[in-house]
Amino acid sequence: MTANEETLRIGVDIGGTKALGVRLGHQGEVLGELQLPTPDRTGEVVDVIRHLVESLAGPAESPSSIGVGVPALVDGAGVLRFSPHLPRLVGLGLESELRRIWPGAAVWSGNDATAAGWAEHAIGAGRGVDEMLMVTLGTGIGGGIVAGGRIREGARRFAGEFGHMVIDPHGPLCPCGNRGCWERYASGSGLGQLGREAAMAGRLPRVVELAGGDPEDVRGEHVTRAAGEGDPPAVEVMASFAWWLALGLANLATILDPDVVVLGGGLIDAGEVLMGPARRAFAELVEASEARAGLAILPAALGSRAGAVGAGLLAAGERGAG
């Protein structure tokens, strides 16, 4: 390798619909990025990763490190084991594929929210915080754990599946087979459900307008938008939603005692209309609240790039010194 080649650090985030590649500088800064649709066929996912890398590389450059985050459980051998959002990828030996294509590169593959958590810890909202949780609020809920300044992935690298914590065994059925998983309530799907219920009861005229007129078409993003405009009933639905969010956050704080919880994913675009009620409900719900002064719930700093950036940092070996 030439000196040039040593600096090509790539991070990739394969989402349910989009695949994002970033080229990172030595401080984790994004030097270049490319987004493409996630292909439908399993084999093509590896082709897309290759295409992202080649597009971000200069002439004759080969990656010194490449990290790939996926919305899945990825085991210690880098094989996708469980993925409700990308079931067609289950069984893919992602890490061996990466090693086959780029034998000289340092490789990381793993859960996208874990990667996002590491990025927020390394250079984002949880920078320098040794006890930190990442919670990504999208269609579902993902999670990442930083403890003692290092990413914690558990025995088989399956840790951080916060969305499937059961918070009501009599609650709605989850595709995972259980009832009342946290992500039935506190994800974009959960907000959409709360919104539709309020809309059917005639309580959300502005939200229904944004959804095109039919209460059944209300989705989380319509509630978020109306609440952002200050529409009082939408703000009220957002506060109910924030309570469910806070319930799970309080559980996680009770179990793991973090200093900072970073919230990521599309839902945090709602801003204070979500963060304010969530912080207040959290303070009411968490055990020994008065003794937890300093615990901060913060919006993610790296936005939709966090997963790709974190995967790139983890591949480059920046897992913390602890």
What is the nearest approach in angstroms of a copy of itself to the Cβ of residue 255?
A: 6
Going residue by residue from 162 to 181, which x/- string records binding to a copy of itself, judged by CB under 8 A?
x-xxxxxxx-----x-x---
Site string for a copy of itself, 244-263 (x = CB under 8 A): ---x--xxx-xxxxxx----
| Among 3-11, 115-123, 150-158, 303-311, the segment contacting a copy of itself (CB under 8 A) | 150-158
Does residue number 321 form part of the binding site for a copy of itself (CB under 8 A)? no
Choose between 53 and 129: whose C-beta lies nearer to a copy of itself: 129
**Shortest Cβ distance from residue 82 to a copy of itself (Å)?**
4
> Which of the residues 91 through 130 are near a copy of itself (CB under 8 A)?
130
Stretch of 58-66, 202-210, 223-231, 291-299 lying at the interface with a copy of itself (CB under 8 A): 291-299
Q: Residues 6 or more apart from 66 whose CB is under 8 A from it?
A: 9, 10, 11, 12, 49, 53, 98, 102, 105, 106, 107, 108, 312, 315
Residues 199-228 binding a copy of itself (CB under 8 A) are: none
Nearer to a copy of itself, 11 or 71 (CB): 71
What is the smallest separation between the CB atom of 193 and a copy of itself, expressed in angstroms? 16
Residue numbers at the binding site for a copy of itself (CB under 8 A): 73, 75, 81-82, 130-131, 143, 145, 147-148, 150, 152-162, 164-170, 176, 178, 247, 250-252, 254-259, 285, 287-288, 291-292, 294-295
